[in-house]
Amino acid sequence: MVDDARGEVSLRVNGTAHRLEVDNRRTLLDALRDSIGHTGPKKGCDRGQCGACTVLVDGRRVVSCLMLAVAADGCEITTVEGLAGGGELSPIQQAFVRLDGFQCGYCTAGQLCSAVGMLAEHAAGWPSAVTADVSPDLAAPRLDAAEVRERMSGNLCRCGAYPSIVRAVLETAARGQVAG
């Protein structure tokens, strides 16, 4: 038995501050879903392999199932619920709707958060595993279908909506609407 197996956590989720007392074993995903009530992030594999739980932590995409809630203390979290603003879907959400970027929808919250993070990474000039030359002295890699597939490979879709997801991400990127 561990005597200090619980901790206090402050999280700012989609702009709202939350203070929670959690078991140290609680993942950020479970804290978001069960303690705060944001059920957008989904528990697919719970092992960091499917990406359905993807959220943005301090602006970067992560899998919330492998982050302990206590380790996220003080962080700014954005879930899929926080992507839309002022009653209007964000550009990436609109593109997913317009281009059929999903079928059953289970992976969609993770796909959307991942796409927002990934577009920001690309805009910052980050190369990927399919970028032919990683030299920083060349122009940033052009975002094409191969780049999107590689950069989004941490998000699985069992319905196989990949072609439409790739189109939705490319269209959003082409419109320069990186902020999601």
Partner 1 sequence: MKEFAYRRATGVRDALALVAADPGARYLAGGTNLVDLMKVEVEAPTRLVDVRHLPLGGVGEAPDGGLVIGATTTNSDAAADPRVRRRFPALSQAILAGASGQLRNMATVGGNLLQRTRCAYFADPAAPCNKRVPGSGCPAVAREHHNHAVLGWSEQCVATHASDMAVALAAFDAVVRYESPGGAGEIPLAEFYLPVGRTPHLETALPPGALITAVALPGAAASPRSRYRKVRERASYAFATVSVAASLDVHDGAVRDVRIALGGVASKPWRARVAESALRGGPATAERFRAAAAEELSAARPLRDNGYKVTLARNLIAAVLSELV
- With binding defined as CB under 8 A, does residue 27 bind partner 1? yes
Contact between 81 and partner 1 per CB under 8 A: no
Match 């941490």 to its residue by tokens: 154
Rank residues 60 and 175 by Cβ distance to partner 1 and give the closer one: 60
In the bound state with partner 1, the residue whose beta carbon lies nearer, of 86 and 132, is 132
Yes or no: say if 116 and 93 are a contact pair by the CB < 8 Å rule.
no
In this complex, which beta carbon is closest to partner 1, that of residue 99 or of residue 118? Answer: 118
Report the 10 Å Cβ neighbour count for 135: 8
Tokens 């032919």, located at residue: 132
Shortest separation between residue 71's beta carbon and partner 1, angstroms: 6
Q: Which residues contact 22 (CB under 8 A, 6 or more apart)?
A: 6, 7, 9, 31, 35, 69, 70
Site string for partner 1, 39-78 (x = CB under 8 A): -------xxx--x--x-----xxxx--xxx-xx-x-----
Number of chain residues interacting with partner 1 (CB under 8 A): 48
Q: Which of 10, 153, 159, 179 binds partner 1 (CB under 8 A)?
A: 153
Give the span between the Cα atoms of 46 and 35, in whole angstroms. 17
Six-digit token pair at 90? 């964000």
Rounded CA separation 26/8 (Å):
12
Q: Which of 121, 123, 170, 177 binds partner 1 (CB under 8 A)?
A: 121
Buried b (16+ CB within 10 A) or exposed e, 88-111: eebbbbbbbeebebbeeebbbbbb
Considering only 104, 134, 145, 159, the residue that binds partner 1 (CB under 8 A) is 134
Q: Please check whether residue 151 is in contact with residue 114, taking contact to mean a CB–CB distance below 8 angstroms.
A: no
What the block records as the tokens of 21 is 């007392």
Question: Given candidates 118, 161, 169, 173, which one binds partner 1 under the rule CB under 8 A?
Answer: 118
Residues that bind partner 1 (CB under 8 A): 1-5, 7, 23-25, 27, 46-48, 51, 54, 60-63, 66-68, 70-71, 73, 114, 117-118, 121, 124-129, 131, 133-137, 149-155
